[in-house]
Amino acid sequence: MKGQAYIVGAYEHPSRDAADKTLAQLHIESALGALADAGLSLQDVDGYFCAGDVPGWESPGSGPMSVVEYLGLNLRHLDTTETWGSAYINHVAHAVQAIAAGKCRVALITQGGRPRAEKLPPEAAMRLQPQHAPEAQFELPYGAVVTNVYGMCAARHMHEHGTTAEQLAWIKVAASHHASHNPHAMRQEIVTVQDVLDSPVIATPLHRLDCCIISDGGGALVLAHPDIARSLKRPLVTPTGAGFNVRHLNGGYFDILASGGVRSGAEAFAQAGVRPADIQYASLYDSFTITVLIQLENLGFCAPGTGGRFVADGGLISGTGRLAVNTDGGGLCNNHPGNRGGMTRLLEAVRQLRGEAHPAVQVPDCRLALAHGTGGQLGGRHGSATMILERED
């Protein structure tokens, strides 16, 4: 995978409350921003990758084509893989494959969402599945929403390993320290462990500050063939390893603390030929504090059951902790556009590798980073995608 394609453009939409913009505008403005960052134009794009957040997706088959027409793209390749929050990490892997196979030379990936502007109530954003899903008749009557499923994961981790609410709170504290340096972050105030514990309980044992924010926004990435990438005089960031796994309930025979990241991470590390100890920066999906803790264990950054000790006392704060994680503030403090965090995890990883993160959180000479996304929810059915990125000189 290494050197077969390069990420040459990256853009994060600055909006967190897009009441003045349509969903199409968020996608289009993000696309134009990423192309400008790369020094390319819409005319250069011959591959487009998107998920179910594109406008018009509810009309089967029309959404992606509508965006292609809106942008005026002349495509040779289209990929509409949908795995929710992990989709965009999948898209990067698929774009590398498409470029290597000669199906396109410049690939554009976009994301956008505006649940805040649409004033969607939290329960609308957190329902596990639509009424027509095959499992709906067995699960919806019991009121399952994302918060209480993640609450079960946290409760189980505490029961099995003695993890404490204070340890989980340190994940939010680290995110807030990082967000305080991000002028676009939705929540820039630094919080303490006690602040987290004093916030209302949402789903035992998770407090309000253990939960991610709901925001509008979006982002885009541009990948290019090596010949094009080297002509642009941009930092060379190449994917070197990727993995994906669908994890489901298996009729009740499953470990609630073992996510698809166990397998997707192992695949990504094997393909890249590196180990967790080699990673200098990690972008981890953080829908809740427990999400980060479980992913740290599942991806091999610490042993199962030791995540609480790994994150405590500032363990994830850049410059002082064991591993810099989510240095933009992540979904806990920065943004979580459309309730899909995979794109922003990639964007901050690219910034770190380029040396473009805020100086207060920049990892010195960052050359190897990991981005991981979860689409769906831990403790239930979900898709996990892991991507390892490297900076080349």
- Listed in sequence order, the residues at least 6 apart from 106 whose beta carbon sits closer than 8 Å to its beta carbon are 40, 44, 45, 46, 47, 222, 223, 224, 225, 228
Instruction: Check whether residue 13 and residue 78 sit in a common domain.
Output: yes
pLDDT value for 121: 61
Instruction: Check whether residue 227 and residue 170 sit in a common domain.
Output: no
Instruction: Check whether residue 102 and residue 150 sit in a common domain.
Output: no
pTM score of the predicted model = 0.94
Residue 186's closest CA among 336, 324, 314?
Answer: 336
127 in any annotated domain: no
314 in any annotated domain: yes
pLDDT value for 315: 98
Instruction: Check whether residue 270 and residue 371 sit in a common domain.
Output: yes
Give the Cα separation of 250 and 246 in Å (integer). Answer: 11
Instruction: Check whether residue 144 and residue 171 sit in a common domain.
Output: yes
Give the Cα separation of 341 and 373 in Å (integer). Answer: 7
pLDDT value for 122: 57
Given a contact cutoff of 8 angstroms between Cβ atoms, the answer to whether 158 and 205 are in contact is: yes
131 in any annotated domain: no
Q: b/e for 336-362, b at 16 or more Cβ within 10 A?
A: bbbbbbbbbbbbbbbbbbbeebeeebb
pLDDT value for 130: 60
Given a contact cutoff of 8 angstroms between Cβ atoms, the answer to whether 220 and 34 are in contact is: yes
Instruction: Check whether residue 111 and residue 179 sit in a common domain.
Output: no
126 in any annotated domain: no
Instruction: Check whether residue 152 and residue 208 sit in a common domain.
Output: yes
pLDDT value for 62: 74
92 in any annotated domain: yes
12 in any annotated domain: yes
181 in any annotated domain: yes
Give the Cα separation of 291 and 24 in Å (integer). Answer: 30
Domain count, the chain: 2
The Cα-based distances of 178 to 68, 174, 183, 370 in angstroms read 36, 6, 11, 18
Instruction: Check whether residue 187 and residue 225 sit in a common domain.
Output: no
Residue 110's closest CA among 390, 343, 294?
Answer: 343
Instruction: Check whether residue 22 and residue 114 sit in a common domain.
Output: yes
Residue 236's closest CA among 80, 392, 11, 100?
Answer: 392
Where among 181, 200, 235 does a domain terminate? 235
Where among 171, 203, 235 does a domain terminate? 235
Where among 175, 205, 235 does a domain terminate? 235
pLDDT value for 140: 76
161 in any annotated domain: yes
CATH at residue 257: 3.40.47.10
Give the Cα separation of 79 and 63 in Å (integer). Answer: 12
User: What is the H or E stretch that residue 236 is in?
Assistant: strand 236-247
pLDDT value for 128: 46
Instruction: Check whether residue 30 and residue 111 sit in a common domain.
Output: yes
Instruction: Check whether residue 175 and residue 286 sit in a common domain.
Output: yes
Range(s) of the domain holding residue 28? 6-119+216-235
11 bridge partner residues = 220
Residues with pLDDT less than 70, the chain: 58-61, 121-131
Give the Cα separation of 208 and 185 in Å (integer). Answer: 18
Given a contact cutoff of 8 angstroms between Cβ atoms, the answer to whether 272 and 392 are in contact is: no
Given a contact cutoff of 8 angstroms between Cβ atoms, the answer to whether 49 and 76 are in contact is: no
Instruction: Check whether residue 196 and residue 296 sit in a common domain.
Output: yes
